[in-house]
Amino acid sequence: MSVAVQFGFSSLARGPRLLVLAALLWAAMVPVAGARAVDGTLIEHLVVSEVVTGGANASDEIIEIHNPASTALPLEGLELIYVSASGATITRRAAWALGA
């Protein structure tokens, strides 16, 4: 199962958009049939399967998170961090606490 999440960094604090982001990230955690690597081993971790930057404007950023595992995986301890093209600006955009 893949989930595409699109948001503008400047508007992440808006309630409805944050709620949609949270719902989509939760959906990425829903278990699906276990995926296997080419060598046959089970994949039991989240995969960032797509990152799109440099869209029509600065807020066109997409991150796709895929859960190929056969069970739900925790998000706790993970962070979504924005780094500007120059590397001069590093900003935490989301963090998941214990139990997430």
- Spans of the chain below 50 pLDDT: 1-16
Report pLDDT for 16.
Answer: 45
3-state helix, strand, coil in the chain (%, to 5): 15, 30, 55
> In this structure, what token pair is assigned to residue 44?
């039991």
* Among candidate residues 100, 51, 47, 50, the one with its CA nearest the CA of residue 69: 47
- In the chain, what are the domain boundaries? 2-73
> What pTM value is reported for the model?
0.47
Report pLDDT for 11.
Answer: 36
What is the rounded distance in angstroms from the CA atom of residue 96 to the CA atom of residue 47? 17
How, if at all, do strands 79-83 and 90-95 pair? antiparallel
